[in-house]
Amino acid sequence: MPKQVDHRGRREAIARALWRVVEQRGVTHLTMRVVAQEAGISLGQLQHYFASRTAMLSFAMDFASEQTSRRVKEGLKKLGDRPHPRDVLRLTLVEMLPLHADARATSRMSAAYVLEALHDETVHEQARRGLVQGRALVEQLVRHAIADGHIAPDRDPATETNLLLTLTGLTPLIELNVISPQDALTAIDLYLDRLFTGRDRSA
Amino acid sequence: MPKQVDHRGRREAIARALWRVVEQRGVTHLTMRVVAQEAGISLGQLQHYFASRTAMLSFAMDFASEQTSRRVKEGLKKLGDRPHPRDVLRLTLVEMLPLHADARATSRMSAAYVLEALHDETVHEQARRGLVQGRALVEQLVRHAIADGHIAPDRDPATETNLLLTLTGLTPLIELNVISPQDALTAIDLYLDRLFTGRDRSA
């Protein structure tokens, strides 16, 4: 189905144009007109692919999540057949931080999306679903690591998952150059060491 | 100086109108025209108080930080003369989360501000300075707590501070109803228990 493929390809090109607008100019400039300009197509052509700004945003956010998953999967391949759950979690968390160009684009997209979600029910539902699914994957990892003896059995999987996800809270500190990328990685490694040994590595 | 006071009062009323726009309609609607409407004044009157959108945003962000500090100070009074550093940190972190109307307004304001900072040098510098100062206050608390024996002496104050600040990463989970306010408080309490005892409470 070459036509189908083309359609998908064009939508992805538009999504990338939308990311560039978010990354380089900010969410306040995110209108269909600006995205059409950035993608080098007319507003009418853009409207052929996306009926509304929300539909366009939805697709761009889904595509950003797919790209993050793809980067994590590629990283996992390098970890071999049976990667340690600590390495899987580290890779996942690091790919969610704005530490390289692609991750920065998806991270900014995702921050803009959460703000947008507060004022649009459709976006809220989609953003919530995405976050619930991502959270469930992390919780599953934590539960397996507990079952396999990598994490102490008295740890509560739900709360540990919530605490792991808060590590994305390093984002504003990195974006505003308050801490260095290396500081962020040091914090994540220290946190994971404690989680996986049940105590402070230095203790 | 009643005239001075009036001027400050009017600027604060405008800042509150700006917060309402950010909280209720989102940062994409944040123009001087919309803020003037929300504040019930003309665009010309608004421009008398703020020469630009950036100047208005700057003031509104400073005012939001002041309001958060004021709430923390009020909370501290209730903790008595020599509050435990764990309680001081808990209060500070909780007031940064969107758990009640005022904190939600300042939290959303601050998220919008970080996004804005990525595309405006003046805003970036101000946001960075604010975050550096806030971080320094938390690090000072951590250092004192180590000196006073409340936190184990082998903890690294800088990394512990960065990890404490990541707890504001609970914000999107709360805003999108992925976890409840109680889940957020449970995570914070568990985290602080570990920091202040040097090990897992349940271990």
Given a cut of 90, is residue B65 above it in pLDDT?
no
Q: Which two tokens stand for residue B76?
A: 């501290």
**What per-residue confidence (pLDDT) applies to B2?**
52
Q: Is residue B199 less than 8 Å (CB to CB) from chain A?
A: yes
- Residue B132 covered by a domain: yes
How many distinct structural domains can be found in chain B? 1
Residue B58 has pLDDT above 70, yes or no: yes
User: pLDDT (tens digit, 9 = 90+) per residue, B112-150?
Assistant: 888 888 888 888 999 999 999 999 999 999 999 999 999
How many angstroms away from the CA of A172 is the closest CA of chain B? 7
Contacts of A159 in chain B (CB under 8 A): 183, 186-187, 190
Most B CBs within 10 Å: which of A162, A182, A190, A199, as the mutation test of the B interface?
A162
Partners of residue B187 in chain A, C-beta under 8 Å: 159, 162-163, 166
Residue A10 to chain B, least CA–CA distance (Å) = 26
Domain of residue A162 covers 53-197
Query: Does B150 fall in a domain?
Result: yes
Give the domain CATH number at A160.
Answer: 1.10.357.10
Residue B59 covered by a domain? yes
Query: Which of 112-131 (B) contact A at CB < 8 A?
Result: 112, 114-119, 124, 127-128, 131
Mark yes or no for CB contact B178/A112 under 8 Å. Answer: no
Cβ-nearest to B187 among A30, A159, A199: A159
Ranges under pLDDT 50 in chain A: 1, 199-203
Q: Which of A117, A135, A166 sits opposite B166 (nearest CB)?
A: A166
Structural domain contains residue B1: no
- Judge: A154–B187 Cβ closer than 8 Å, yes or no: no
Of B111, B132, B179, the CB nearest to A162: B179
Model pLDDT, residue B27 = 73
Q: Is A27's Cβ below 8 Å from some Cβ in B? A: yes
> Looking at the domain assignment, is residue B202 inside a domain?
no
Among residues B35, B187, B183, B42, which one has the least CA distance to residue B112?
Answer: B35
The whole-angstrom distance between A168's CA and the closest CA on chain B is 6
A177 vs B contacts (CB less than 8 Å): 128
- Residues of chain A positioned with their CB less than 8 A from the CB of B28: 27-28, 30, 116
Asked whether residue B14 is domain-assigned, the answer is no
The pLDDT of residue A46: 94
Confidence bin at B199 (pLDDT 50/70/90): very low
Domain-located, residue B40 = no
User: pLDDT tens digits, residue range A139-164?
Assistant: 999 999 999 999 999 999 999 999 99
Query: A202 lies in a domain?
Result: no
DSSP string, chain B: -HHHHHHHHHHHHHHHHHHHHHHHT-GGG--HHHHHHHHTS-HHHHHHH-SSHHHHHHHHHHHHHHHHHHHHHHHHHTT-SS--HHHHHHHHHHHHSSSSHHHHHHHHHHHHHHHHHTT-HHHHHHHHHHHHHHHHHHHHHHHHHHHTTSS-TTS-HHHHHHHHHGGGGGHHHHHTTSS-HHHHHHHHHHHHHHHHHSB-TT-
Whole-number pLDDT of residue B188: 97
Q: Say how many CB pairs under 8 Å bridge A and B.
A: 154
Mean pLDDT of B56-64: 86
User: What ipTM did this prediction achieve?
Assistant: 0.88
Residues 29-88 of chain A with CB under 8 A from chain B are 30
